[in-house]
Copies of this chain bind each other. A is one copy, B any other.
Amino acid sequence: MAWIEIVGLFGAFLSSITFIPQVWLAWKTKSVGDLSLGMLLIVFTSVIVWLVYGFYLHLLPVIIANGIIFFLSVLLLYFKFTFPKK
């Protein structure tokens, strides 16, 4: 595997885990007031677009990364809509 492919996989890995600390913080504090709903909706939409792209071109890293981000963004949207406003 060329080193640049490893760089790409590392980027995909980092992008996949981006929202894990945010999900953890939101769950721990039950506070999401400073989290932008617009950001979450753009993430959700972009993930669906990237999944169409990844499935069509059979790009497994794109599919896996966005599958994980899809799950995390749905969690954050659920928190945003259900945690009480402060």
Interface contact B42-A36, CB-CB below 8 Å: no
CA distance A10 to B8 in the complex (A): 20
Interface size on A, residues (CB 8 A): 36
Chain A 15-35, CB-CB to B under 8 Å as 1, else 0, gives 101111110111001011111
Interface contact A34-B25, CB-CB below 8 Å: yes
CA distance A50 to B49 in the complex (A): 19
Find the B residue at minimum CB distance from A3.
B56
CA distance A38 to B39 in the complex (A): 17
Interface contact B18-A56, CB-CB below 8 Å: no
Which residues of A does B touch, CB under 8 Å? 4, 7-8, 10-11, 14-15, 17-22, 24-26, 29, 31-39, 42-43, 45-46, 49-50, 52-53, 56-57
